[in-house]
Amino acid sequence: MASRILIVDDEPSILSSFASLLRDEGYRPEAADTAERASRLLESTGFDLILLDLQLPGQSGLEFLRELRENPLAPKVLVVSGQADIAAALDSVRLGAIDFLEKPVPPEKLIASVSAALALVTAERQRSMLVDELDDRCRIVGRSAPIQRLLKTISQVAPTDTTVLITGENGTGKELVATRLYLESQRRDKPFLKVNCPGIPETLFESELFGHVKGAFTGAVRDHQGKFVQADGGTIFLDEIGDLPLASQAKLLRVLETGEVETLGREQAHKVDVRVVCATNRDLHQLVGERRFREDLFYRISVFAVNVPALSERLDDVPLLTGEFLSRFDPANRTRLSAAATAYLGTLKYPGNVRQLKNMIERLTILHSGRTVEIEDLSEETSHAITTNDPADSADASLSEQTAVFEKRLIEKTLRECGGNISQTARRLKVDRANLSRKIRELGLKSGDL
């Protein structure tokens, strides 16, 4: 569909000539000779771009631009000004205008500027769509107390520019937390770059993060913008920062302290505005004590620390996570887990955390596509995917042994949740109270100790 462009100018000849020129280029122009008429048109019609004159009767172009700035959905503005308005035109750019053109505007320059402005509008819309898609895809699933505390912490620190260090075991979702910090920040419409620190060779670290110019070293055949320059205005996520060599740590510290990037082969430093989020599964305190991680860098990146709980600390979330992964890997909802199978998964240990559960559900949707997965279907899967502290639940355990382990854990868990009340536990498990009492004695459980 042709782009709609609103021309705001009090000169009839300008309105007529601009509209004719834009129409010939396939655009859909409309005209307004005052800011007030332009405002009424904006209320009823969606525009992609505004060509705005600053010298208007009544409300001035700058005042109109200030109003537009308060509306996040307002179209982009390209200012068209006379020689006497150059100072005001510069003010308009500071107020958010894309650029300004000086009257009289040659037709080819007007068309080129409009085309460039609309390309920027399209790029920003695409970025916004991608960010919205990322937002939907990167939800943190869970209702357990540890997850509620994590979500509250994210909502508190995300709107700030504070440097954040995310800690936690492998597979807990540290990258997901970093993404949420970006999505809930004031920088969500700016770049978000992820850097896997162990994946960058030490010899290329400076070039990859800070950039180089052509000829800076052998093999530098073209200029390269480093990650920090690419992320200018946005957020950079440094994953597994604990694995950085000491020499690379020193170079990173300099940038974090000064906010300036020294590009290889270029004498002048480049100022950048980047919010830094780091993550590690290692104990940085220990690494500092072993002199394998710089103490000054540790304090610089850990202004605010966020710990992501292990899945073993939030087993109540397993049913929700299971449902989320099932819908992700089987959008048609043809594969399901029975209630018993879901409950069983909530009693296990997960050394690989959420990533391990996710991988397991993906395999189940492949192996048992289109049917309900029962507890007996999990025996082979859990025997190699799950490690627990119970010797009966090992790779060599039979189905009956694993089922017995599950039964014991489920009764223990339910008894605990019911405060040791056997009658309430029996109702929750939908079993006869006398049979449950017998089973509790057989398993050696003591309700009063739970």
Q: How far is CA 366 from CA 20, 326, 343, 357, 359, in A?
A: 60, 11, 21, 14, 11
pLDDT at 383: 54
Whether residues 318 and 357 share a domain: the answer is yes
CATH number of residue 345's parent domain: 1.10.8.60
Joined together, the tokens standing for residue 150 give: 């994590």
The β-bridge partners of 373 are 337
User: What span, in angstroms and rounded, lies between the C-alpha atoms of 246 and 98?
Assistant: 43
Among 132, 153, 173, residue at a domain's last position:
132
Q: Contact, 194 vs 239, CB < 8 A? A: yes
pLDDT in tens, the chain (450 residues): 688 999 999 999 999 999 999 999 999 999 999 999 999 999 888 899 999 998 889 998 888 988 888 887 889 999 888 765 667 767 777 788 888 888 888 999 999 999 988 888 887 777 777 766 777 778 899 999 999 999 999 999 999 999 999 999 999 999 999 999 999 999 998 999 999 999 888 888 888 899 888 876 777 667 788 899 999 999 999 999 999 999 999 999 999 999 998 888 777 788 999 999 999 999 999 999 999 999 999 999 999 999 999 999 999 999 999 999 999 999 988 999 988 888 888 888 899 999 999 999 999 999 999 999 988 888 666 654 454 444 444 445 555 666 677 777 778 778 877 878 888 888 888 788 888 888 787 777 765 444
Which CATH number characterizes residue 113's domain? 3.40.50.2300
The total domain count for the chain is 3
Assess whether 9 and 29 both reside in one domain: yes
Residue 73: closest CA among 144, 36, 125: 125
Measured distance CA(225)–CA(207) in Å, rounded: 8
pTM of the model: 0.66
Residue 201: give the domain boundaries: 138-309
Q: Which residue has the tokens 């604990």?
A: 242
Q: What is the pLDDT of residue 442?
A: 75
333 and 294 both lie in a single domain = no
Instruction: Please report the pLDDT score of residue 88 as a whole number.
Output: 74
Please, are residues 367 and 330 in contact by the beta-carbon 8 Å criterion?
Answer: no
Q: 48 and 113: one domain?
A: yes
What pLDDT is recorded for position 392? 47
The encoded tokens of residue 29 equal 């122009």
Last residue of a domain, one of 132, 152, 179: 132
The closest alpha carbon to 171, from 241, 240, 245, belongs to 240
The CATH number of residue 167's host domain is 3.40.50.300
Q: How far apart are the first and last CA of the chain?
A: 67
DSSP symbols for 48-96: SEEEEES--SSS-HHHHHHHHHT-TTPPEEEEEE-GGGHHHHHHHHHTT
pLDDT score for 320: 93
**CB-CB neighbours of 388 under 10 Å:** 19
Say whether both 25 and 173 belong to one domain: no
| Predicted local distance difference test score (pLDDT) of residue 19 | 93
Rounded-to-integer distance, Cα 338 and Cα 322, Å: 11
Ordered alpha helix ranges (H), 316-417: 318-329, 339-345, 353-367, 378-385, 399-417
Task: Say yes or no: 268 and 149 in one domain.
Answer: yes
pLDDT of residue 253: 95
CB crowding 285-314: b at 16 or more within 10 Å, else e: eebbeeebbbeebbebbbebebbbbbbeeb
Measure the CA–CA gap between 137 and 154, rounded to whole angstroms: 17
Asked if 443 and 410 count as a contact pair (C-beta separation under 8 A), the reply is: no
Amino acid at 294: R
Q: Rounded distance, CA 442 to CA 198, Å? A: 52
Whether residue 111 sits in one domain with residue 143: no
Same domain, 187 and 211: yes
Angle, helices 353-367 vs 318-329, to 10°: value is 50
235-239 β-sheet, strand order: 192-196, 235-239, 275-280, 164-167, 304-307
Given 132, 152, 175, the domain boundary residue is: 132
Same domain, 291 and 349: no
Give the pLDDT of residue 225.
81
Q: What is the pLDDT of residue 103?
A: 85
- The DSSP string of 192-243 is EEEEEGGGS-GGGHHHHHH-B-TTSSTT--S-B--HHHHTTTSEEEEETGGG
